Amino acid sequence: MKTATESRLVQKDKLLRILGVGFGVAVVIGGTIGVGILRSPGAVAAQLGSVWLIILVWLLGGVYALLGANYTAELATMLPKAGGDYVYARRGYGNYGGFVVGWSTWILNVLALGYMAIVFGEYAAALFAPNISNGVVVFSVSILVLLTALNWIGLRTGSETQKLSTFLKAIALLGFVVACFVFGGQSNFTNTEQTALPASGGYFASFVAFILAFQLVLGTYAGWNAVVFFCRRRPRPVAQYSALAVWRSFADYRYLPVG
């Protein structure tokens, strides 16, 4: 029989299941809308040199992310536990496989946060403090401290912050696309193929360029599986993950106009 102390520890270890579909949608879309979409399109265009290849590689990236989101939704429904990819790797490959995947995921998440903070700092410093020498560092550290503090306050505060930030990012991205078409000028659209770098070196070089561009696209789409880390905090996972798979398809192809 469990003692009173053990019962309290078990009760304390339980995670509150208070995150609904709204939070899941915010994580799916917000986790994908990152700084990559501000950096990758130019590099992708430089690698491919063809409008149709550029559209194709972004479409394939969306298909890849959608398929990954579908199988992740199935795994999260069957194993609704906290830990994300670690849980599934441990179940399939044992403790060592789970450790490797969990450790790799942690490192990737830390690197991604650092990269996003630096890019945010660069844009913020250019807009608000162009004459300050350490402006990038100040803004980069400040955004990390601010987001950490908001999530430290509590789960509900972090959830509402995620919803608000996702809404603002989605509106900003949509506004950016509209502004490009409204204020871009006709010459920016008609001369696209002429200004892009042409592919040279034969089929092998073109294939390598396409693979490199595809890697950039996958990095931009990264974040489609972020919601699985919150499995233990979500009620009714079966219905919610089915809904999130639909939202995932919407989230994928909003990048096409930007790319």
Q: Is the pTM value of this prediction over 0.75?
A: no
Q: CA triplet 166, 226, 147: central angle to 5 degrees?
A: 50
Q: What is the pLDDT of residue 115?
A: 86
Q: What is the pLDDT of residue 203?
A: 78
Average pLDDT over residues 62-71: 81
What CA–CA distance (Å, rounded) separates 223 from 28? 7
What CA–CA distance (Å, rounded) separates 244 from 23? 10
pLDDT, tens only, 98-125? 999 999 988 988 888 888 899 889 989 9
What CA–CA distance (Å, rounded) separates 166 from 23? 10
Answer yes or no: is pLDDT of 12 > 60.
no
